[in-house]
Amino acid sequence: MGLDIRWPIGVMFTLISVLLIIEGATKGPSDRSLGININLIWGVVLLVFGLLMLLGAVRGRKTPPSA
């Protein structure tokens, strides 16, 4: 059982966040709700979460016992 669940979670959230950041960055001021660019804000939040999951997966990698 070598797959850590943090890998697919981190990749999924990172990819979705990149799409949201691109969407939020390319929209004009008329596409905002109450003056808040919610796609850009949540894109950054999801990017931080995805990168934390990937960092946890890298740091949590266990080395196999030596024979």
One pLDDT digit (tens) per residue for the chain, 67 residues: 567 888 899 999 999 999 999 998 888 777 777 878 888 999 999 999 999 999 998 888 776 666 6
Q: Give the model's pLDDT for residue 17.
A: 96
State the DSSP H helix or E strand holding residue 30, giving kind and residue range, or none if neither: none
Q: Give the model's pLDDT for residue 4.
A: 82
Q: Give the model's pLDDT for residue 1.
A: 55
Q: Are 4 and 62 in contact (CB under 8 A)?
A: no
Residues β-bridged to residue 36: 33
Q: Are 44 and 14 in contact (CB under 8 A)?
A: no
Tokens 């939040």 belong to residue: 45
Q: What are 59's two structure tokens?
A: 């740091």
